[in-house]
Structure formats: C-alpha cells, structure tokens
C-alpha cells in the first residue's frame, strides 16, 4: 500500500484483500499487535552510533557523572561542567496580545507574529554542584564559546580548582584536538572531554535546555531579543535556587547492554553500505 505509516484499520483491510483472513476488524488487529508491542503507526528519529570509539568515549562521560575519572574518585576540588549552545532562539512578537487562561479556556496565542531577531544561548551546567552559567551571542563560534568558558573559569570556585572537566559535543565551536589545545593553553586546569559523535543524549546540559524550552520559550511570545535575554537570565536565577544535580541512572553496564543490542545492526548497515 502507498503508506508510510499504518493504522490497525489499514492492516485489517490489507489482510482481507490478500485473503489472509476472510474478515477481521481493526480492533482485533490492534489487540494482536498490542500483545507483541508492535506499533506500526509510530516512529521516532534515530541516529545509529557511527563513532568507532563510541563506547570508550561514552564510558568516560558516564564515569564523570558518577564522580569517577580513570578509575579514581574525583576530589572535592574537582568539577564537572556540561556545556553546549542552544541556537537560533527567536523573538516572536505576536500580532495580537496573548489571552490569559480563563475557566474552561486555555491560554490563547496569536498564530501570526513578527520576527524580532534571533540569538544563541550558550550555557554551562555544573553537574555536581547544580549551578548554571549562561551568556548570549548573535551566533555560535569559537570566540563566543571561549567567552562562556572565561565566564565560568573566572569564578573563584573553578579558578583555583585542581581540575575542571568540560563535557562537550563535537560542534564546530569546540571540535577536536585544536579545541583541546586552545582550552588547555588558556586554562591549564581544564580537562576537555568530547562526547562520541551523535551522542547529545549523553550531555546533561541538554536536560536543562529541554526545561528552558518548556518553561521559558513555549509559547514564544516576546516583543524583542532583550526581553528574551531578561527572561532567560531571570529563569537561570530562579532555577538555580531550586536545582539539584540530575539523577543520572545510565551507567557503564547499561552502555554495555545498549552496545550489545545495536552492534549487530551497525554491522548489518556496514555490510549493506
């Protein structure tokens, strides 16, 4: 059938047309599929790990989240920072004022809006201390990222630390050996730790960004970029008063199980390529 996603009714119709059964209802098909936990009407985006050192790199990050590095516990004067950028945050100035909720009526946000510009929100999350740092830039890049690092490392807590581990992805602002050399040259106590390629789900700052998206940026109703900045800075202060370290339950053992599950799929893809 010329369908990308199937409902139970579609499958029932096809089964009857092909003579698999004389007659069957969509409800029966749904019940059978539900027993086997098969849902052909759902899908999710997925990127298979393609980093040859995926398990090794991911394992280092997981160790840091559990207070370990190279088999030793971190000291009190050692810190773990998770960092990334949230790009292209728009200020959407709605063409009609947003209507607050009323009994039996949700908030009403005008669909049409005027674009008032966009900015990048660079943030760093102290994994063990539950502290958040952030700054705003017109766009991302090496220099904007290093300004965020400077903002954090100029704090006495990190300036005089024994080591500060910076967990980051492989974005162009902080990619590869050149980034490592730049950071260590300016801040010798920094230990840059890159995630595997396509593994942003291992970056704790993404949890914070998802909270920001839900609580601050949705619905997007701002008259200017300055209003966006003010709201985000105020949220940082509010969030930090209540924040606790994220309870990170995914361990090396969980990683091993995941790799056992997906390695055969990766091998099959490699054979087909």
pLDDT tens per residue, range 72-110: 999 999 999 999 999 999 999 999 999 999 999 999 999
pLDDT mean over 66-70: 96
**In this structure, what token pair is assigned to residue 215?**
């609580």
- Burial label, 149 (beta-carbon count in 10 A; 0-12, 13-18, 19+): buried
- Predicted confidence at residue 143, as pLDDT, reads 97
So what's the pLDDT on residue 3?
87
Is 130 in contact with 137 (CB distance < 8 Å)?
no
H helix or E strand, kind and range, residue 9: helix 8-17
Please provide the average confidence, as pLDDT, over all residues in the chain.
93
Q: Is the pLDDT of residue 47 over 90?
A: no
In angstroms, what CA-CA distances link 39 with 8, 118, 187, 262?
Answer: 9, 38, 51, 20
pLDDT tens sequence across 176-223: 999 999 999 999 999 999 999 989 999 999 999 999 999 999 999 999
pLDDT, average across residues 55-81:
96
- Give yes or no for a contact between 258 and 48, defined as CB atoms under 8 angstroms apart: no
- Antiparallel, parallel or unpaired: β 163-168 and 190-194: parallel
Q: Which domains does the chain have, with CATH numbers?
A: 1-43 (no CATH), 54-252 (3.30.420.10)
1: pLDDT strictly greater than 90: no
Specify the DSSP element, H or E, that contains 121: strand 113-126
pLDDT band at 240 (very low <50, low <70, confident <90, very high): very high
Average confidence (pLDDT) over 245-266: 87
- pLDDT at 70 (0 to 100): 95
Strand, helix or coil at 164? strand
- What global pTM score does this model have? 0.86
Cβ atoms of 141 and 105 closer than 8 Å: no
pLDDT band at 273 (very low <50, low <70, confident <90, very high): low
The pLDDT assigned to 50 comes to 79
Residue 231 C-alpha from the chain's centroid: 21
Question: What's the pLDDT score for residue 44?
Answer: 86
Q: CA–CA separation, 89 vs 118, rounded Å?
A: 5
């Amino acid at each position: 059938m010329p369908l990308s996603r199937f409902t139970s009714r579609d499958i029932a119709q096809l089964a009857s047309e092909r003579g698999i059964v004389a007659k069957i209802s969509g409800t029966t098909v749904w019940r059978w599929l539900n027993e086997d936990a098969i849902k052909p009407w759902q899908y999710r985006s997925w990127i298979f790990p393609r980093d040859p050192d995926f398990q090794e790199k991911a394992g280092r990050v997981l160790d840091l989240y559990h207070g370990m590095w190279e088999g030793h516990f971190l000291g009190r004067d050692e810190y773990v920072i998770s960092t990334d950028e949230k790009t292209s945050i728009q200020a959407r100035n709605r063409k009609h004022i947003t209507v607050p909720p009323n009994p039996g009526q949700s908030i009403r946000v005008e669909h049409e809006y005027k674009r008032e510009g966009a900015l990048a929100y660079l943030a760093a999350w102290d994994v063990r201390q539950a502290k958040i740092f952030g700054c705003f830039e017109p766009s991302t890049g090496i220099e904007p990222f290093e300004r965020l690092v400077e903002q954090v490392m100029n704090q006495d807590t990190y300036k005089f630390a024994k080591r500060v581990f910076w967990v980051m992805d492989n974005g162009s602002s902080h990619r590869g050996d050149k980034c490592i050399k730049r950071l260590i040259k300016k801040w010798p106590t920094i230990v840059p730790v890159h995630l595997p390629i396509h593994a942003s789900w291992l970056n704790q700052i993404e949890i914070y960004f998802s909270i920001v998206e839900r609580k601050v940026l949705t619905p997007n109703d701002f008259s200017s970029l300055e209003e966006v900045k003010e709201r985000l800075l105020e949220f940082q202060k509010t969030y930090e008063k209540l924040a606790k370290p994220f309870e990170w339950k995914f361990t090396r053992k969980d990683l091993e199980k995941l790799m056992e599950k997906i390695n055969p799929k990766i091998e099959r893809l490699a054979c087909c390529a």
